[in-house]
Chains A and B, each alone.
Chain A
Amino acid sequence: MVEPPPEKLTPELVFREYAPRIYNLARRMLGNDADAEDVTQDVLLQVVRKLDTFRGESQIATWLHRVTVNAALAHRAKRANRQKHEAGEAGDDLDGAVSTGPVNRWAVSPDEPVLAAEQQEIIEKAINTLPEPFRDVYVLADVEGLPNADIADMLGLSVPAVKSRLHRARLRMRDALAPHFEGGLAP
């Protein structure tokens, strides 16, 4: 999530460097702007208060991921108290959730794709349709690039559970993206 900033860590630098990253992670986990903004504010305040205790950028990067995930999960739990939500209802059963029929090739470059704004929006929307337990793992693993063991630790899951959810999330994402990438919308 976070690359080392070139300058000395200061509260202002933390705001400039990390606020957008915290916001993007929270936005993807929570699926809406208002909740992401609340979480970003909470996390930034925690960062500012604890800044003196960090000994390096890698330490703050790891800590930020964890604090952002915790804040997002806590925010979601509060929201779920107000309205019954689908969190926790994503069963382990793949039947009916994933296409097992014929599939078509995608027009995607084999190199690292550079996403157009329209493509980015399609992917973000597809992420937003994932059930929350799948979405959390997917965002942390495939978007943020965190190791499964770290994700398991953050979410209180076993590594096999993380792998299982990630696989199912990828299959759902594959199905959701297929209509858009089969054909002319290649990066």
Chain B
Amino acid sequence: MRQPRQALIGQVRRARIAEVAARVLLAVCLFCAAVPPILVIGVIVWRGLPAISLEFIFDMPKQSMTAGGIFPAIVGTALLTLATALFAVPAGIAAGIYLAEYAGDSLLARLIRLSIANMAGVPSIVYGLFGLAAFVITMHLRQSILSGALTLACLSLPAIITATEEALRQVPSELRNAALALGATKFQTITRVILPAAAPGAVTGVILGLSRAAGETAPIIVTAAAFYAPLPTGLMDKTMVLPYHLYIMATQAVRSNNNVVWGTALVLVASTMGAAMAAAAWRSAQRRKLRW
């Protein structure tokens, strides 16, 4: 009788030790995963902040871009992202509505889901080559904001569709049934009941998708970006953009100025991350207001 009891106590002790060891190990894993973001943001702010001034943000580059500001790159990124939104948001939201409200589990719906999942995994440089072949060359749009925006729209489409679908699915079906029972058509139900209820989630997803697109470099190297260009005057111009400017200044500038490099990095990260964080904060604030 004593023998098994001893063994049992030993087993319990071993399990306890394993429990503690495992918790420590897992905490270390989580720590390792959470530290890089802090370091990345910290370093970029620390190195970039001294470069930031009104002149840096609102001035043209000077002395072959080793001094002056990055205004054209900021304007270019803003324009490119807006144009991307113009193409990607209507199509993406409509496709999200289709998947959440119309599709069901048909073969077509599964095919669409599959192609979205695959589009999300296509490397960004492949989008760049596709944009070059399809928009720049075949459609004769040249290297322009328009070509770049179409390319980035393809790239951000899956994120926007997925986010919209998720947001629509979270609207309880009671709302849907109530609207339909009052005699609204399906389309009226969607536009007047479901979309307003799903807006926080959908808008946040859209902004996240667009901010990722705004930070992409590879797809626009050959479709929209210019090494140096004046302020763009229309959609058919080449343009300077922040990610490409950063890449060029960091790797290929003959005499690089560290201030310009880190300042550009800070502006880029602050705008993409700022947009993403603001959107996420807005969503959680809206969620608290809107409870079912």
Partners in one complex: no
Chain A contacts to B: CB under 8 angstroms: none
Which residues does B use to contact A, with CB under 8 Å? none
